Amino acid sequence: MNIAQQVLHDVFGYSAFRPGQEDIITLLTTGQNVLAVMPTGAGKSICYQIPAVMGERLTIVVSPLLALMDDQVAALRTNGVDVACIHSGLSREQNIDEWQKVKNGAKLLYLSPERLMTERMLAALETLQPGMFVVDEAHCISKWGASFRPDYEQLSRLPDLFPDSVLAAFTATADKATRSDIAAKLFRGRGQIIVHGFDRPNLRLTVANKASWKSQLMNFLDDKAGQAGIVYCLSRKFTDEVALFLKDEGLNAIPYHAGQTAEQRKINQDRFMSEDAVVMVATIAFGMGIDKPDIRFVCHLNLPGSMEAYYQEIGRAGRDGAPAETLLLHSLGDMGLRRQFIANEGDEAHRRREHHRLDALLAYCEVAECRRVTLLAYFDEASGPCGNCDNCLSPPVVSDSTARAKALLSTIAHTGQVFGAGHVIDIVRGVESQKILERRHHNLATFGTGKQWPKDEWTIFVRQLVAAGFLSINIQKYGGLEIAERGRALMAGETSFSYREGAKSRTQSKAAKKKGDQPVEPGDVSLLSQLKKLRLDLARARNVPAYVVFPDSTLLELARERPTTLDGMSGINGIGPKKLKEFGPTFLRAITESDA
């Protein structure tokens, strides 16, 4: 590990490994296969880049997105590492030049799974006998995972094609079944599975009922001026609507979805990666492999598809370890849409798995205890209350509402389990609508028994019954509410229902924000702003994302420490010899001038 420590310092500019990195590097450098599950922001890439630099043979890195490959290659080259990258976004001449780098001794070659598994590439690599294959975003290989990609499954041929190569797989999102499947496919179970936890304690978790998304979103963004973040939407149309709304509110908002041309998506992504304070409004088409360390918030205006999707998407915030905030807004309508999407997907086994995943997310949304405990428990990790979620900071009131729930379920039963939430709620609230009068539902014993509660609160009540498994939404019958097995047990007096009160508009209060959220002293804010502008200029000149020059954590340390010499600057984390030589004098001049 002395050599690995030296590479960490001399190439990457860091003085110490993060938790878990040394163990994985030791296993890989001693020839053992590894599946590593590490939270986003934990430094997975260092775990395979250092063994690649130390190794005598070529390392192949399989990555799912061209943009991710380009960013990692740019970062490695900035640190002085010989690396090559071949993909469809480059011209034939450029790809030939990249292959020449491989023949000239490049340490790493980045490829997409589709490019790697062509017979021509496999034949070319057979003559080189790579020392290691690295599969990034490895959950894509498993049908048990929520992001299965058929092209990834071909990678299961690698242990047969290259039996003498080390196989490494990395992911931030894999439950126990998915982990076992990945290990079986990639190295036939002959290797180590290392799980370094899923917890991201710097992320504040907040969930709220979607009442008025515009006011809720603006309230969430109110104290985030000058910060970069992502707002996720379910549809392309809604994405454009939200981006336009935020622009009208004076924010630097950019839309991103699959309905745009590839060129437009690349322009928008490049802006997000290189500029400060950009709000990317996007569908899930945007996200995998986005490695921008200074994303300070992620907001979902619609319900994600699963706990895995939610975890992945919020995991794009705060990768630099600094505080970041998340907000999830959801509604009964979102639940119905998600069920409908699942009904149109795959085979019966796949649909059953996806329904279970959605059930877990709905339970998370409605839980009254610490959200982090529920989130981590889904990934088989135990934890205590976090003190950094809405339920910990502002505990909700929970009341026994069994009698009220029985009245609602009785109404559903006596109307044939065919009507949606709106009609059932109107009955218990005593609304004499034409639809109710025509069907004589005003004669039901439960008519008007719940008139003391407003419609909005009844909507939340129904949503919680659905999330807790007492009711289900029948998509084939136009969203009709049906009584589930647990609901029948409730009506029989065999179980109870607790209602989580005050959930309809709970959002993060400014009073609840922890001290220390401001990363630098007030006197350093001006210098930090200057350093960010300088970094952006240098990045644009080199056509790379801003963090490739220096991550935010390095700029923060520069603003705090204000080194006066290059030797002093060399002690700042993230500044290796090559970056010190290339960028050091420019940043040193900026610091000196600010102190003048």
When the candidates are 3.50.50.60, 1.10.150.80, 1.10.10.10, 3.30.420.40, the CATH number that belongs to 522-595 is 1.10.150.80
- Structure tokens belonging to residue 392: 């910990």
Residue extents of the structural domains in the chain: 2-195, 203-393, 400-494, 522-595
SS (H, E, C) 194-249: EECCCCCCCEEEEEEECCCHHHHHHHHHCCCCCCEEEEECCCHHHHHHHHHHHHHC
Cβ pair 109, 34 in contact under 8 A = no
> For the segment 358-392, what is each residue's pLDDT rounded down to a tens digit?
888 988 998 888 999 889 888 878 888 999 999 89
> What is the third-level CATH fold of 2-195?
Rossmann fold (3.40.50)
Task: Count CB-CB contacts under 10 A for residue 31.
Answer: 11
The Cα 211–Cα 224 span in angstroms is 21
The Cα 548–Cα 460 span in angstroms is 45
pLDDT at position 284: 81
Residue 303's H or E segment, with its range, is none
Low-confidence stretches of the chain (pLDDT < 70) are 1, 144-147, 287-290, 475-479, 502-523, 596
Nearest to 32 by CA among 48, 10, 16, 44: 48
pLDDT at position 508: 41
pLDDT at position 336: 84
CA distance readout (Å), 93 to 96, 431, 495, 512: 5, 72, 69, 56
Angle at 143 between CA 139 and CA 149, to 5 degrees: 65
Nearest to 43 by CA among 62, 21, 10, 73: 21
Compute CA 86 distance to the chain's CA centroid, rounded to the nearest angstrom: 26
- 118: Cβ contacts below 8 Å, ≥ 6 apart: none
Task: Count CB-CB contacts under 10 A for residue 464.
Answer: 24
The Cα 148–Cα 146 span in angstroms is 6
> For the segment 49-89, what is each residue's pLDDT rounded down to a tens digit?
999 999 999 999 998 877 778 888 999 999 999 999 999 88
- Structure tokens belonging to residue 418: 């065919």
Nearest to 562 by CA among 522, 581, 589: 589
The Cα 509–Cα 486 span in angstroms is 35
> What is the third-level CATH fold of 400-494?
Arc Repressor Mutant, subunit A (1.10.10)
Helix (H, G, I), strand (E, B) or coil at 134: strand
pLDDT at position 144: 65
State the pTM of this model. 0.71
Nearest to 83 by CA among 93, 73, 94: 73
pLDDT at position 250: 93
pLDDT at position 324: 96
Say if domain 203-393 classifies as CATH 3.30.70.380. Answer: no
pLDDT at position 512: 42
Q: Is the dihedral of CA 75, 79, 85, 91 positive or negative?
A: positive
Residue environment code for 466-480, b if the CB has 16+ CB neighbours within 10 A, otherwise e: bbbebbbbebeeebb
Are both 2-195 and 522-595 of the same fold? no
- 394: Cβ contacts below 8 Å, ≥ 6 apart: 506, 509, 512
Cβ pair 375, 307 in contact under 8 A = yes
Phi and psi dihedrals of 62, rounded to 5?
-95, 120
